[in-house]
């Protein structure tokens, strides 16, 4: 736990290179309009002294921070139960790093945290925000929008219908669900059930819509509402079995619930996929590949979602790749999903 040594300033570098501060500054920031001879001398001085620009001083005048906040609202522990979040974060990190931006992580839990986050963002400490909010009634998105910070959302926010200036990145939950159900239908299944996720989350609602797209006038008894947890999946499967013993396929809104359903089916003596075919969603490998049989599921490219969020935000900030729709307010993106066939359907 050593103390930091006094660091060299621009001034020091200037003195050593025999030029003015302004010139050093120019070289450090791209170096246009400086003769090569001088630029070289400055660069030499810079690394002889081990000069690193003081970001605080720089921000003070530029009003830029080259930092992006990532806000994760997780009233429940759910976000942390799966690698989802970590993967998105990784995608985000890669993209930010590529553009020399820092990632400031804001994890929230409960109401007072909302206020804190709002204050932080409004405080202008970061140039933009990437926000993950799961629930329809979450006040956070509104709060952030009001803070006036450029923002991109992860997953479609519940109220995006009213406000068209909301930018988000989502995967094609509805389309993916359709693919899953169609696949089951293609297998000749006719009594296809659906175990929903927590319906106060748009992803769950969209997946349900996708199911309905294919199962027009589906028997309502074939739809069991659950909550994305394995236990919820078990409970829902039991219900389903109780009221529709003739069910021959199940599309669960995520892999965790599918794994629960699988367990219940086995208990009840059904064979998978022989008697009942099962499809999940997410392609959470540690779960999907550990079940017996392995889970057929809908994959989304989670890391890419993260990367895209960051790219969209930076682009909106007039950073990011130049000459590529610079400055144009970016619009939302919905990423495609793919069906991964394994043993369960």
Instruction: Please give the residue ranges that form the binding site for a second copy (CB under 8 A).
Output: 1-5, 7, 50, 52-57, 59-60, 65, 67, 70, 79-83, 85-87, 89-90, 93-94, 97, 102-107, 109, 113, 116, 119-120, 122-125, 148-151, 165, 167, 230, 256, 259, 263, 266, 284-287, 289-292, 316, 329
- The phi, psi pair for 34, rounded to 5°, reads -130, 135
Residue 80 near which of a second copy, DNA, none (CB within 5-8 Å, type-dependent) = a second copy
Q: Which is nearer to a second copy, 96 or 208 (CB)?
A: 96
Question: Residue with structure tokens 């078990």?
Answer: 234
Residue 20 near which of DNA, a second copy, none (CB within 5-8 Å, type-dependent) = DNA
From the list 31-39, 111-119, 142-150, 243-251, the region that binds DNA by CB under 7 A is 31-39
Q: How far is CA 30 from CA 23, 24, 26, 34, 170, in A?
A: 11, 10, 6, 10, 36
The closest alpha carbon to 57, from 81, 21, 33, 92, belongs to 21
Q: How many residues does the chain have?
A: 345
Least separation in angstroms between residue 217's CB and a second copy is 35
Question: What distance, in Å, lies between the first and last C-alpha atoms of the chain?
Answer: 56
Q: Among 3, 4, 5, 33, which residue interacts with DNA (rule: CB under 7 A)?
A: 33
Q: Which two tokens mark 308?
A: 């895209």
Q: Which is nearer to DNA, 17 or 96 (CB)?
A: 17
Contact 71, 130 (CB under 8 A): yes
Residue 29 near which of a second copy, DNA, none (CB within 5-8 Å, type-dependent) = DNA
Site residues (CB under 7 A) for DNA, limited to 43-72: 51, 53-54, 57-58, 60-62
Question: Residue with structure tokens 């993950």?
Answer: 132
Q: Report the 10 Å Cβ neighbour count for 93.
A: 19
Q: How far is CA 27 from the centre of its chain?
A: 37
The closest alpha carbon to 110, from 73, 146, 147, belongs to 73
Residue 331 near which of DNA, a second copy, none (CB within 5-8 Å, type-dependent) = none
Least separation in angstroms between residue 3's CB and DNA is 15
Q: Report the 10 Å Cβ neighbour count for 342.
A: 17
Least separation in angstroms between residue 339's CB and DNA is 50
* Contact positions vs DNA (CB under 7 A): 9-11, 18-23, 25-26, 28-29, 33-35, 37-38, 51, 53-54, 57-58, 60-62
């Amino acid at each position: 736990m050593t103390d930091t040594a006094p660091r060299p300033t621009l001034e020091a570098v200037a003195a050593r290179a025999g030029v003015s501060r302004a010139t050093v500054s120019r070289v450090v920031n791209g170096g246009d309009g400086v003769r090569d001879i001088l630029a070289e001398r400055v660069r030499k001085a810079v690394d002889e002294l081990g000069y690193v620009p003081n970001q605080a001083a720089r921000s003070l005048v530029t009003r830029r921070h080259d930092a992006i906040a990532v806000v994760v609202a997780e009233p429940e522990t759910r976000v942390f139960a799966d690698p989802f979040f970590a993967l998105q974060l990784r995608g985000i990190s890669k993209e930010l790093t590529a553009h020399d931006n820092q990632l400031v992580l804001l994890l929230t839990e409960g109401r007072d945290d909302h206020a804190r986050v709002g204050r932080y963002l409004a405080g202008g400490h970061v140039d933009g925000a990437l926000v993950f909010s799961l629930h329809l009634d979450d006040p956070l998105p509104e709060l952030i929008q009001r803070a006036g910070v450029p923002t991109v959302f992860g997953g479609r926010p519940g109220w995006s219908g009213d406000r068209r200036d909301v930018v988000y990145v989502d995967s094609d939950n509805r389309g993916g669900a359709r693919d899953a159900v169609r696949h089951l239908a293609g297998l000749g299944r006719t009594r296809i059930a659906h175990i929903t996720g927590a319906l106060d989350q748009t992803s769950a609602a969209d997946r349900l819509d996708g199911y309905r797209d294919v199962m027009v006038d589906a028997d309502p008894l074939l739809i069991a509402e659950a909550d994305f947890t394995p236990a919820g999946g078990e409970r829902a499967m039991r219900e389903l079995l109780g009221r529709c013993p003739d069910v021959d396929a199940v599309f669960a809104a995520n892999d965790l619930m599918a794994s629960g359903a699988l367990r219940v089916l086995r208990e009840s003596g059904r064979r998978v996929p022989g008697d009942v075919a099962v499809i999940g969603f997410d392609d959470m490998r540690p779960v999907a590949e550990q079940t017996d049989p392995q889970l057929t599921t809908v994959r989304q490219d989670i890391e890419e979602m993260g990367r895209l969020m960051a790219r969209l935000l930076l682009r909106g900030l007039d950073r990011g790749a130049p000459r590529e729709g610079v400055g144009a307010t970016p619009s939302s993106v919905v990423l495609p999903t793919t069906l991964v066939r394994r043993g369960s359907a």
